[in-house]
Amino acid sequence: MSPRPAMDAEVTPGKTSELGGQILPLTLSESARQQGYALLFRGPVRSYVDSRLSAYLKYVVYGGRSVSELYKPSLLAGAFSFVVLLPFAVTRT
């Protein structure tokens, strides 16, 4: 099997020694061992470009609207409710 990043279900809390003497605070889970994985090691630091993911979320999940546009009606309704109900709350104390 070729090396790949481990998923959450494939590791459990524990200790794994690396070649440089460092200790990883994780160990392979039993299910990962049954799938044929035998080694757990720290890979190189990677940088992910998330612009494609951001565009996907904006157009597919949010329907082309920005996040501020989605929350604007809720925030306005909350502010309106606060202003309308505040005098009733103050006179009750």
pLDDT at 93 over 80: no
Reading the block at residue 11, the tokens are 């590791």
Go through the chain and tell me how many residues it has. 93
Q: Please give the helix or strand (H or E) that residue 11 lies within, else none.
A: strand 11-17
pTM, 2 dp: 0.47
Write out pLDDT tens, residues 52-66: 887 888 888 888 888
Check if the beta carbon of residue 28 is closer than 8 Å to that of residue 40.
Answer: yes
Q: How much is the pLDDT for 84?
A: 96
Write out pLDDT tens, residues 27-54: 999 999 999 999 898 888 877 778 888 7
How many angstroms separate the CA atoms of 45 and 25, rounded?
17
Residue type, 60: V
**What proportion of the chain, given as a percentage, has pLDDT over 70?**
98
Q: How much is the pLDDT for 20?
A: 83
The closest alpha carbon to 16, from 31, 47, 38, 35, belongs to 38
